[in-house]
Amino acid sequence: DADVTQTPRNRITKTGKRIMLECSQTKGHDRMYWYRQDPGLGLRLIYYSFDVKDINKGEISDGYSVSRQAQAKFSLSLESAIPNQTALYFCATSDRGNQPQHFGDGTRLSIL
Amino acid sequence: AQKVTQAQTEISVVEKEDVTLDCVYETRDTTYYLFWYKQPPSGELVFLIRRNSFDEQNEISGRYSWNFQKSTSSFNFTITASQVVDSAVYFCALSEYTTSGTYKYIFGTGTRLKVLA
């Protein structure tokens, strides 16, 4: 089984819909991250969490919200999806901030 | 300000050629960490290497080697005798310690490497 699991892997939805992307991990890491990847822009940080009670905005948090339900679970929500949120979304975990991040397989989200 | 620049958007080489992917970084801190990740066409992100700012030794792992030079703020990645399976997007990343007591992680925009048979 994968250490970092993202669901769904693919999602197509319409403008204005609420979407939730889920991430769970079995690595036992405290730190979890959500990124989006767009062609030519690399990976940009949306939100990150150092533990269940600590959630922080990244560089592009507008239009997104997160929930850290447990050490192992970190969900990303788009309250009212818009087409420019079409992207590949990654969840990642790390043991500490100076350690490698471990990524899920990504969620490809298309908003029509 | 913290920044990672991968100026090469896309590189194409013929199989068995050597290729170097450039990474230039900016940081105000003396303690920082550099990383390389690989994203093959299947889409997952795979960690390749981590280097801290106090260790300027070059590293070799099979056909892969990394050249860290603090004098030029560069952490370049060379693939020797490239193979088609090396075709991927490669990301360089920087983690530095901030005044808020946390590490901030930033990725470059990636270099797409195409190795032609």
Nearest to B49 by CA among A99, A2, A91: A99
pLDDT over 90, % of chain A: 86
Shortest CB distance from A42 goes to which of B35, B52, B91? B91
> What's the pLDDT score for residue B99?
76
Gap between the Cα atoms of A41 and A21, Å rounded: 21
Shortest CB distance from B43 goes to which of A44, A99, A105? A105
- Residue A1 binned pLDDT confidence (cut-offs 50, 70, 90): low
Which of the residues in chain B have pLDDT under 50?
Answer: none
Q: Are B88 and B19 in contact (CB under 8 A)?
A: no
pLDDT digits (tens, 9 = 90+) for A28-71: 999 999 999 998 888 999 999 998 999 999 999 999 999 999 99
Contact list, A98 vs chain B (CB under 8 Å): 33, 52, 95, 97, 103
Gap between the Cα atoms of B77 and A11, Å rounded: 35
Nearest-Cα distance to chain B for A98, in Å, is 6
> What's the pLDDT score for residue B2?
83
Look up residue B59 and give its two tokens.
């590293």
Nearest to B26 by CA among B92, B113, B79, B78: B92
> What's the pLDDT score for residue B29?
87
In the numeric block, the tokens 């969900």 are attached to A75
Gap between the Cα atoms of B48 and A10, Å rounded: 26
| Residue A55 near chain B (CB below 8 Å) | no
Q: Are B4 and B93 in contact (CB under 8 A)?
A: yes
CA B10 to chain centre: 14
Shortest CB distance from A98 goes to which of B6, B47, B95? B95
Look up residue B10 and give its two tokens.
């896309």
